[in-house]
């Protein structure tokens, strides 16, 4: 019998706590030698990813379309004659798909729509003898969605971002996706057609973020940018924050499974591999109360990786970032899971609902054997754009509130000014703002 898969196994509680504690925040990853060669070719010198993004942002801010086309030619190998993809091409891309794929995109969009329609907020006003207080809820006017489309194509991510924006009532949805072999992926165009977005541009990387943030002759500036991307895209989003809003700074994807002795080893291993196959930086962690399950899962990982098309990627992710932790009981396992604050938390338990109240930090909870994270990635309904890197402690998945803003309304009358005026004057004087105090005093004096 061959040795079990060499994933790291932890049985000591203190070691498990240390392994699952993350407080480093967003970090710039080390560039591969291939990426560094590309930087030298394009910019003529060694630069960090941050320095590259600074140059691109400045170039697009000052050079507009011309800078975008030049950067696209340098980075992607060819510059498009026009940056915007005509809408007729989106429909053609959708119609060219086989019926099964058409149905899959439409099913996903319908599920996402149905889930997010339940989150709609309304404006409200509270009228009283002193006037009225309230809030007006308004959708954002224009958002930008970045859709990766080079070697990795994720039409599902476009749907998971654009469809909630549509439900929220955003006036205009702009999509930017890199050209691959001279064109935007037909799957991205088909997803744009199904989602009902307004414009698609064939621009990738940091230059796409710059174009949407600052605007060019062709690309309208947006109010918020959402969507995943590589290190250059993520850094660009970080740097334009304040010019526009952003959703979050997505890092490598991750899943954490809490399982007991009722879990199926084959399914458990499959769920770990489903996350690990994304890329070599992905994380898949199992916390279990069953040593027998831990051993069986290690054996299953070996078996399943042998026939996986992206087996090399998944294996590297599991060896570099994977963990199996054996612990004493489910409450302890849930405490460890909260410490990690995973993007995806999967509960493969005999009674999974009993563990749900113990969850404090997670992007999404997948309850029971029939709720795999893979279902959530595509067709369950909640957006799969969720916080990573421990940021589930303070970030939420994409939801309808990401696409609206609130305007406070105060309509006080004379009675309110009489009651609240003295306290207002006292606070204004305490802060040295006499003009504020006078604005109240004059109103009180005029009513004597």
Supply the residues annotated as catalytic. Answer: 343-344
Contacts of 10 (CB under 8 A, 6+ apart): 16, 19, 323, 324, 325, 326
Tokens 């963990």: give the residue: 323
Separation of alpha carbons 153 and 92, rounded Å: 18
Sheet holding 404-412, edge to edge: 124-128, 131-139, 404-412
Compute the half-sphere exposure of residue 423: CA atoms within 13 Å on the CB side of its CA.
5
3-state secondary structure of 57: helix
**Neighbouring C-beta atoms of residue 365, cutoff 10 Å:** 18
Phi, psi (degrees; rounded to nearest 5) at 29: -75, 155
Pairing of strands 124-128, 245-246: unpaired
Separation of alpha carbons 16 and 237, rounded Å: 33
Closest CA to 318 of 287, 277, 289, 359: 277
Burial of residue 343, with CB atoms counted within 10 A of its CB: 0-12 exposed, 13-18 middle, 19 or more buried: buried
| H-assigned helices in 341-413 | 373-378
3-state secondary structure of 348: strand
Closest CA to 155 of 209, 218, 215, 90: 90
Residue 390, both tokens: 């421990």
Separation of alpha carbons 74 and 59, rounded Å: 13
Compute the half-sphere exposure of residue 408: CA atoms within 13 Å on the CB side of its CA.
2
Helix (H) or strand (E) holding 90: helix 87-95
In angstroms, what CA-CA distances link 313 with 163, 279, 318, 322, 384?
A: 30, 6, 9, 12, 21
């Amino acid at each position: 019998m061959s040795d079990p898969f060499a994933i790291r196994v932890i049985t000591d509680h203190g070691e498990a706590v240390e392994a699952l504690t993350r407080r480093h925040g967003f970090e710039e990853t080390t560039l591969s030698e291939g990426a560094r060669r590309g930087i030298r070719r394009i910019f003529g010198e060694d630069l960090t990813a941050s320095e590259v993004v600074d140059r691109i942002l400045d170039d697009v801010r000052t050079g507009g379309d011309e800078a975008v086309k030049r950067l696209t030619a340098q980075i992607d190998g060819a510059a498009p004659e026009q940056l915007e993809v005509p809408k007729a091409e989106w429909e053609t891309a959708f119609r060219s798909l086989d019926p099964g794929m058409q149905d899959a995109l439409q099913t996903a969009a319908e599920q996402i729509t149905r889930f997010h329609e339940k989150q709609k907020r309304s404006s409200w006003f509270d009228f009283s003898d002193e006037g009225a207080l309230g809030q007006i809820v308004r959708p954002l006017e224009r958002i930008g969605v970045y859709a990766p489309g080079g070697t990795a194509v994720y039409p599902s991510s476009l749907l998971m971002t654009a469809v909630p924006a549509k439900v929220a009532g955003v006036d205009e949805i702009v999509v930017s996706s890199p050209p691959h072999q001279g064109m935007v992926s037909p799957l991205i165009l088909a997803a744009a057609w199904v989602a009902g977005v307004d414009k698609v541009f064939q621009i990738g990387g940091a230059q796409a973020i710059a174009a949407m943030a600052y605007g060019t002759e062709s690309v309208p500036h947006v109010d918020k940018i959402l969507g995943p991307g590589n290190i250059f895209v993520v850094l660009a989003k970080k740097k334009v924050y304040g010019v526009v809003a952003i959703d979050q700074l997505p890092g490598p994807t991750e899943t954490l499974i809490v399982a007991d002795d009722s879990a199926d080893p084959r399914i458990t291993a499959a769920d770990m591999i489903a996350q690990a196959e994304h890329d070599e930086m992905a994380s898949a962690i199992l916390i279990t109360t069953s040593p027998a399950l831990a051993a069986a899962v290690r054996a299953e990982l070996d078996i399943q990786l042998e026939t996986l098309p992206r087996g090399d990627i998944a294996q590297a992710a599991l060896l570099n970032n994977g963990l199996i932790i054996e612990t004493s009981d489910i409450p302890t396992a849930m405490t460890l899971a909260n410490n990690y604050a995973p993007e995806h938390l999967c509960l493969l338990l005999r009674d999974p609902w009993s563990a749900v109240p113990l969850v404090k930090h997670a992007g999404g909870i997948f309850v029971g054997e029939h709720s795999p994270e893979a279902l959530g990635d595509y067709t369950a309904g909640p957006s799969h754009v969720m916080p990573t890197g421990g940021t589930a402690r303070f970030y939420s998945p994409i939801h309808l509130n990401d696409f609206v803003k609130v305007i406070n309304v105060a309509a006080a009358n004379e009675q309110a000014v009489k009651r609240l005026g003295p306290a207002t004057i006292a606070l204004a004087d305490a802060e040295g703002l006499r003009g504020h105090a006078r604005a109240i005093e004059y109103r009180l004096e005029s009513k004597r």
